[in-house]
Structure 1
C-alpha cells in the first residue's frame, strides 16, 4: 500500500488511527501509534489487517471491541479520571481484539489463538522491540514513563498520570453492525400479506384492450382511492356517465374482474 507519510505511519496493516478529540488528543494519538507499531510483526506474521484503530472514551462495559472482524477496533486508553492505562495492559487488549478477526466467540479455540499471539508479544518484549522505523525506540514517546513505569510525570506543562485497570470486562465482544435489508425496487414479491392478492384479467378482450391502452391505469393503494380510479376507468372505456360516483355496481364489479389489484 502506497502512503505519502510512510515514515510517520506505524503499521501498514492499520489504515486509519483516530484518537478522541479533546485536550489530550495528541497524546492519545501517539499512544495508539505506539500500540500499532508494537503489533506490526504480529499482524504481519498472522495475516491481520484492520481498517480503523480508534480510541473510545472510558465506559463501565469494556476496554476493547472489534467490529466486523477488523473493520474497526476500539480501545480505551484512559480511565474514568482521565489517567492513562498501562501500555502492556492496552497491548494485551489489542491482541485480544485482533484475535477476534480469527474467531468470534470466547471459546477454547479463541484462547488457543490468543496464547500464541501473547507468546509472540513476549518474544518481542524480550528483544526490546518497540516498532519499525522511527518507532524503534521510545525516545520521542511522550507517555513512555507514564504507561511503562506507572508514574506521574510532567510533559511540556501537562501532568500525565497512569492508572491500574479496575474490574471491567476486558472485551466488549466481536460485533457486527446491523444493515438495513431493502427489497428490490418496485417489488413486493414474497410478502405474506400479498399471498391472496390479484385477480385474473376478464374474458372480454375488447374491453380489456381499451383499459390497457389507457394512459392512466389504476394502481390501488386504498379502498377509497381504488374505487375512484375504477370508476374513472369505467367512464373512459364505457358509455358516458353523468355522475361517476353513482356508477352501477355491476359496472364496478366488471372492472374489478378486468384488472390485477395490488394492495
Structure 2
C-alpha cells in the first residue's frame, strides 16, 4: 500500500493506528507503532491485513479483540492504574488477534497456527529485529525501558510505570459488528407480492346481480357496461313491455348474449 508523506508509519499492512486521546496519547501511539513494526514480517509472510489498530481502555474482560477479521484490532496497553503492560505480552496478544483473521474459533487448528506465528516471532527476537527503518532500534522509544525492563522510568517529567498482566482473559474473541440494514429507496420498496388467488370480476352470479343493481359502486365505462345498466333500469321500472323503451334489436341481442340477468 502506497502512503504519501507518511514516513512515520511502521507497517504497510496496518492502515490506521489510533491511541486513546489523553495525556499519555503520544506514548501509547508510539507503543502501538512499535507493536506494528515488530510484526511487519509476520503479517507480510502470512498475508494478514488490519484496517485499524486501536488502543482501548482497561477492562475486566479481555486484553485484545478482533472485529470483522481484521477490520479493527483492539489492544489494551495500560492496566487499571494506568501502568504500561510488558511489550512481549502485548505482542503475544496481537499475534493472537492476527490469528483470528485466519481462524475464528479457539480450536486446535487455531492454536496450531498461532504456534507457528509465535515461532516466527521468536526467530525475530533472536535476530534482535524490532521493525523496519527507524524502528529497528529503540533509541527513540520512551517506553523502551519500561515495557522491556519492568521498572519505572522518568521521561520528560512523566513517570512511566510497568505492569504485569493478571487475571483477565487474553482474547475477547473474533467478533462481528452488527451493521444497520438501511432500507433501500425506490419504486419497489414496500411492495409485496399478493398471495391471494384472483377471481374474475362478476363470475359469481349473485355478486354480479348486486353490482348491476348498486349505484354506489364504480360503474364500467364500456358499451357493455352502459347497456347492462340500461337493461337493469328497464327491468326495475317494469317498463320493458312498453315499446317506447324497447332496445334496438341489435343492441338487445348483444346485451343478452354477453350478460346473464337474474330476476
Paired residue secondary structure (2:101): helix
Task: Show the counterpart of 1:216.
Answer: none
What is the CA deviation profile of residues 65-91 of structure 1, one whole-angstrom value per residue up to 9, with x for unaligned ones? Answer: 000000000000000010000000000
State whether structure 2 residue 135 is matched by structure 1 residue 135: yes
Separation (CA, whole Å) in 1 of partners of 2:56 and 2:217: 62
Task: Show the counterpart of 1:226.
Answer: none
Give the alignment of 1:62-73 within 5 angstroms: 62-73=62-73
What is the CA deviation profile of residues 180-210 of structure 1, one whole-angstrom value per residue up to 9, with x for unaligned ones? Answer: 34566534577xxx87558556359xxxxxx
Give the alignment of 1:74-89 within 5 angstroms: 74-89=74-89
Does the CA contact (< 8 Å) of 1:37 and 1:132 recur in 2? yes
Task: Show the counterpart of 1:152.
Answer: 152
Paired residue secondary structure (2:61): coil
Separation (CA, whole Å) in 1 of partners of 2:165 and 2:196: 62
Task: Show the counterpart of 1:14.
Answer: 14
Task: Show the counterpart of 1:168.
Answer: 168
State whether structure 2 residue 179 is matched by structure 1 residue 202: no
Task: Show the counterpart of 1:118.
Answer: 118
Structure 1 unaligned runs (5+)?
205-231, 238-263
TM-score (norm 2): 0.73
What is the Cα deviation at residue 24 of structure 1?
0.4
Separation (CA, whole Å) in 1 of partners of 2:159 and 2:168: 25
Give the alignment of 1:174-185 within 5 angstroms: 174-181=174-181, 185=186
TM-score (norm 1): 0.73
Does the CA contact (< 8 Å) of 1:64 and 1:74 recur in 2? yes
What is the Cα deviation at residue 2 of structure 1?
1.7
Paired residue secondary structure (1:22): coil
- Structure with max Cα Rg: 2
Aligned-residue CA RMSD in angstroms? Answer: 2.6
- State the aligned residue count: 209
Separation (CA, whole Å) in 2 of partners of 1:109 and 1:158: 44
Structure 2 unaligned runs (5+)?
204-215, 222-263
What is the Cα deviation at residue 234 of structure 1?
4.4
Paired residue secondary structure (2:11): coil
Paired residue secondary structure (1:65): strand
